[in-house]
Amino acid sequence: MSQRINALTIAGTDPSGGAGIQADLKTFSALEAYGTSVITALVAQNTRGVQSVYNIEPGFVGAQLDSVLSDVRIDSAKIGMLANTAVVEVVAERLRYYRMLEKAPVFVVLDTVMLAKSGDPLLTPDAVEALRKWLLPQVSLITPNLPEAAALLDCEMATTEQEMCRQGEALLELGCEAVLMKGGHLSDNESPDWLMTAHYHQRFTAPRVATRHTHGTGCTLSAALAALRPRNANWIDTVSAAKAYLQQALQQADSLEVGEGIGPVHHFHRWW
């Protein structure tokens, strides 16, 4: 692997800068990866919610992927908001095509974005089946929170860590290589996550940070995983490093003055 990491984000936008493409590119830069991007949707949103969504025509999403993957060596990719079935299918098709050409990213992290932090929908219900069928078997790691895992499995949301683990195992059976089950929706003082593969289960935990500035945490974590994986020997070390970065970004978030609602984390906490 080259010392210089090129990372790709495939996602929607956030004009307020806390989530989506903007958050991903900030995270890549903070973690010393060169960021490239493919935009799937133009989202009018801010810290108070989503006001409007303009979906990019699927063929143009494919054209953007061609522009990047035909020219730039991409070491890792993060996939975020895909909006609808047609976009899911074109992303899956392009990944298959460039894998045959040996130009696809070595590592692909799928952040199964379905709802914004405000609760606004970011994925059509029919696209969930497309995610299951076309993308899960192609990716290296998925990072569902508990509502997203339940939607992917068409079951009730887990309410305990034992149920989290059972659902993680069920997601592995759908074809992905690894699952990071995020337990932030549990009502414990800690926020436990479980990294699961066919070979091991690894628990990660961190104290909850008392801040309302949590906009874009899922985007930031998945982007950090993509940026860090090429430099680490395995997913355990990668998840540990990514969670440490996000924990500091949350702890420093109150120093920012962005918006009147759920503010962003501090991506550049190491510098200012």
> What is the set of active-site residues?
182, 214, 216-219
Query: Half-sphere exposure of 226 toward its Cβ, with a 13 Å CA cutoff?
Result: 37
Handedness of CA 245, 250, 251, 253 (dihedral sign): positive
DSSP-derived secondary structure for the chain: --SSEEEEEEEE--TTSSSHHHHHHHHHHHTTEEEEEEEEEEEEEETTEEEEEEEPPHHHHHHHHHHHHTTS---EEEE---BSHHHHHHHHHHHHHHHHTT-S-SEEEE----B-TTS-B-B-TTHHHHIIIIIGGG-SEE--BHHHHHHHHTSPPP-SHHHHHHHHHHHHTTT-SEEEEE-TTS-SSB--EEEEESS-EEEE--BPP--S--BTHHHHHHHHHHHHGGGSSSHHHHHHHHHHHHHHHHHTGGG----SSSPBP-TTTTT-
Burial degree of 239 (CB within 10 A; 0-12, 13-18, 19+) = buried
